[in-house]
């Protein structure tokens, strides 16, 4: 018998259902053999009764006949296989090929003694094998059908605890792994797919998720760089402002100190003049007192004379020669009035302060954020004429044939810049000289560009404009009439994203025209230009984007 079994191949002893060596083999009427348990469970869940191999249908459940010959041959083959495995294991103990399993690595289940590192795990055998013990799965046709994976521990966890079958299916309805019997019993009618199919799908989702996460990381890294750049620019701005502030306040301090010194000198000079005047009066009074005291002495001496003749003869001379004196009744030395001096000093200081305030670099402060702006012909209304350098725009009377792309204005005679801004501050200047009507400002990226447009800050437009030669408006809803001292020939537009600010300046007068404050910029912004209609040549002058000096 052993000689006969050695002539048989392994495939002849494998059950076509479990793909393993027969256990209690039985024969069905069509002549095919199966493990008794395999064919019994197969027919328990599959009606009508078919042969798994030839698909022959039986009207009644066939009676199973034990195949003693196959049973004996399978036992002989199993014993031979065990002997070969034992011999191979013994040889391994002598030669010990492969790497010894280390902590954290999956060991070979067939190694005795020193466990070698497993190369693969078999989901059919529920065992892991080293290079030597994996050999049968790579060479024998029956074992080649087994599913090999990278070595894993706890292969029992891959078996259905209810049916002791391999978890080879996935129930999409219940989102769980199931065996073949589960799919027919507990999950009948559910959406069940092979584990590999669901694995590929989930792997694809993971790849997509990985890409999305990576993109989110990149966006956040860019945002970090943007914030760092913003902080760096802010620091430079702060340094510039500090330097400008120190310069201005140093000038003011010098002016105050100079005014204070001038005030003190003026007060002291007045005090000196008062003292000099008083000293003159006092000297004159003291001179008169001296003369009067001399006269008093002469009068006293004559009055004490007992010589009648002498007194009478001297009296007329003494009376007629009285020293000249001044009437001091209305003479005084009033204290100087310093209030006028103080007021004049403060007035001069106020004038100096006002001059320093005018010298503050308002325009320079915003002009340092100047950007290069050019007009985008793809957004221009067909009646607008743009210069070749993209710096000038005016209204023409002829409507050009241009592509009706989504970016183009088709009703309002407007045009946007090529540049778009999303953060920080920027500034540009536009010459409006000799124009009777115009609009300037910035607009949100998503504004409607087709048909009649409602253009207010709520709609994403922050603009000012000129109408009827001298009527200026902030184009809000409703518009706000602006009162300007003079007509600007060049308008500066300044935007601060963080402050939510859009300001317009008369460049030549260095004066603020109007500011939109508290703006909420949730999108990128485009500089906006509208030269308005030609009006039979009355408004033919172009809007010109100027070089900021």
- DSSP class of residue 323 equals P
pLDDT of residue 66: 85
Beta-sheet strand order (sheet of 120-122): 127-129, 120-122, 148-149
Q: Which residues pair with 89 in a beta bridge?
A: none
So what's the pLDDT on residue 331? Answer: 87
Residue 240, H or E segment: helix 195-303
Confidence check: pLDDT of 361 > 80: no
Query: CA 368, 371, 372: angle at the middle one, nearest 5?
Result: 140
pLDDT digits (tens, 9 = 90+) for 36-70: 888 888 888 777 788 888 888 888 888 888 888 88
Q: For the residues 130-146, what does the mean pLDDT come to?
A: 86
* Mean predicted lDDT score pLDDT of the chain: 86
What's the Cα-to-Cα distance from 386 to each of 73, 213, 453, 530, rounded to whole Å?
A: 96, 44, 22, 12
Instruction: Flag whether pLDDT at 418 surpasses 90.
Output: yes
What does the pLDDT look like over 498-513, one tens digit per residue? 999 999 999 988 888 9
User: Which residue's structure tokens are 């201005």?
Assistant: 248
**pLDDT category, 95, cuts 50, 70, 90?**
very low
Q: Is the pLDDT of residue 538 over 60?
A: yes
Residue 231's pLDDT is what? 87
CB atoms within 10 A of CB 238: 10
Residues of the chain above pLDDT 70, percent: 93
pLDDT of residue 235: 86
Residue range 419-437: mean pLDDT, rounded: 95
Residue ranges in 323-473 assigned as alpha helix (H): 339-359, 362-367
Tens of pLDDT along 237-265?
A: 788 778 877 877 887 888 888 888 888 99
Predicted confidence at residue 83, as pLDDT, reads 65
Q: Give the 3-state secondary structure of residue 249.
A: helix
Tokens representing 57? 């249908």
pTM of this structure: 0.42
CB 40, CB 61: distance < 8 Å: no
DSSP secondary structure, 89-135, as one string: HHHHHHH--SPBPPTTSPBPSS--SSPBBPSEEETTTTEEE-TTTTH
- Tell me the backbone φ, ψ of residue 143, rounded to 5 degrees: -75, -20
Cα→Cα distances 167→36, 46, 249, Å: 22, 19, 82
pLDDT tens-digit profile of 462-495?
999 999 999 999 998 889 999 898 999 999 999 9
Place of tokens 């001496």: 301
pLDDT confidence tier of residue 190, bands split at 50, 70 and 90: very high
Q: Does position 292 have pLDDT exceeding 80, yes or no?
A: yes
Q: DSSP letter string over 327-346?
A: --TT---PPP--HHHHHHHH
Q: Above 60 in pLDDT, residue 533?
A: yes
Q: Kindly report, residue by residue over 107-127, the tens digit of the pLDDT.
A: 998 888 888 999 998 877 888
Confidence of residue 291 (pLDDT cuts 50, 70, 90): confident
**In the predicted model, is pLDDT for residue 96 greater than 50?**
no
Lowest mean pLDDT among 76-80, 111-115, 213-217, 363-367: 76-80
* Angle formed by the axes of helices 195-303 and 308-320, nearest 10°: 150
Q: What is the dihedral of CA 205, 207, 212, 213, to 10 degrees?
A: 110
CA distance 311 to 424: 110
d(CA 398, CA 100): 88
Query: Cβ neighbours of residue 64 under 8 Å, at least 6 residues apart?
Result: 26, 27, 28, 36, 39, 40
Nearest alpha carbon to residue 414 among 369, 370, 460: 460
74-83, 139-148, 168-177, 284-293: which has the minimum mean pLDDT?
74-83
Question: What is the mean pLDDT of the segment spanning 315-324?
Answer: 78
Question: Can you tell me the mean pLDDT for 173-192?
Answer: 90
């Amino acid at each position: 018998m052993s000689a006969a079994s050695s002539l048989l191949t392994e495939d002849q002893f494998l059950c076509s259902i479990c793909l393993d060596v027969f256990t209690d083999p039985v024969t069905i009427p069509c002549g095919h053999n199966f493990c008794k348990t395999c064919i019994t469970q197969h027919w328990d869940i599959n009606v009508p009764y078919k042969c798994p191999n030839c698909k022959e249908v039986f009207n009644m459940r066939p009676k199973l006949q034990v195949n003693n010959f196959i049973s004996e041959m399978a036992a002989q083959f199993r014993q031979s296989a065990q002997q070969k495995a034992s011999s191979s294991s013994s040889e391994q103990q002598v030669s010990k090929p492969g790497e010894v399993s280390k902590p954290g690595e999956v060991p070979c289940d067939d190694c005795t003694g020193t466990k070698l590192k497993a190369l693969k795990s078999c989901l059919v055998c529920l065992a892991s094998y080293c290079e030597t013990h994996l050999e049968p799965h790579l060479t024998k046709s029956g074992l080649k059908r087994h599913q090999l994976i990278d070595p894993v521990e706890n292969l029992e966890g891959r078996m259905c605890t209810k049916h002791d079958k391999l978890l080879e299916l996935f129930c999409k309805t219940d989102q769980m792994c199931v065996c073949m019997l589960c799919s027919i019993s507990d999950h009948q009618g559910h959406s069940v797919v092979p584990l590999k199919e669901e694995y590929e799908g989930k792997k694809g989702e993971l790849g997509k998720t990985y890409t999305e996460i990576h993109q989110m990381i990149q966006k956040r890294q860019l945002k970090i760089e943007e914030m760092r750049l913003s902080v760096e620019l802010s620091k430079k701005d702060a340094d510039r402002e500090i330097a400008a502030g120190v310069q201005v306040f140093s000038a003011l301090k010098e002016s105050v100190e100079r005014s204070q010194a001038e005030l003190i000198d003026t007060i002291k000079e007045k005090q000196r003049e008062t003292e000099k005047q008083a000293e003159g009066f006092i000297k004159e009074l003291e001179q008169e007192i001296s003369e009067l005291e001399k006269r008093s002495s002469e009068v006293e001496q004559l009055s004490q004379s007992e010589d009648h003749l002498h007194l009478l003869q001297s009296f007329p001379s003494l009376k007629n020669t009285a020293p000249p004196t001044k009437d001091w009744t209305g003479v005084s030395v009033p204290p100087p009035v310093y209030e006028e001096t103080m007021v004049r000093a403060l007035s001069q200081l106020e004038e100096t302060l006002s001059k320093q305030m005018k010298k503050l670099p308002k325009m320079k402060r915003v002009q340092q954020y100047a950007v290069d702006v050019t007009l985008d012909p793809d957004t221009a209304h067909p009646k607008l004429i743009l210069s070749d350098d993209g710096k000038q725009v005016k209204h023409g009377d002829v409507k050009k044939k241009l592509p009706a792309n989504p970016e183009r204005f088709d009703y309002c005679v407007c045009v946007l810049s090529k540049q778009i801004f999303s953060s920080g501050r920027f500034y540009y200047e536009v010459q409006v000289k000799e124009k009777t009507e115009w609009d300037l400002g910035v607009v949100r990226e998503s504004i409607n560009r087709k048909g009649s447009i409602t253009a207010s800050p709520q709609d994403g437009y922050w603009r000012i404009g000129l109408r009827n030669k001298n009527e200026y408006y902030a184009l809000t809803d409703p518009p706000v009439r602006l009162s300007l001292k003079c007509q600007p020939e060049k308008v500066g537009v300044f935007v601060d994203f963080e402050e939510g600010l859009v300001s317009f300046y008369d460049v030549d007068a260095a004066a603020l025209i109007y500011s939109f404050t508290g703006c909420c910029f949730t999108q990128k912004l485009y500089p906006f230009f509208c030269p308005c209609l030609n009006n039979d040549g009355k408004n033919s002058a172009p809007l010109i984007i100027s070089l900021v000096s």
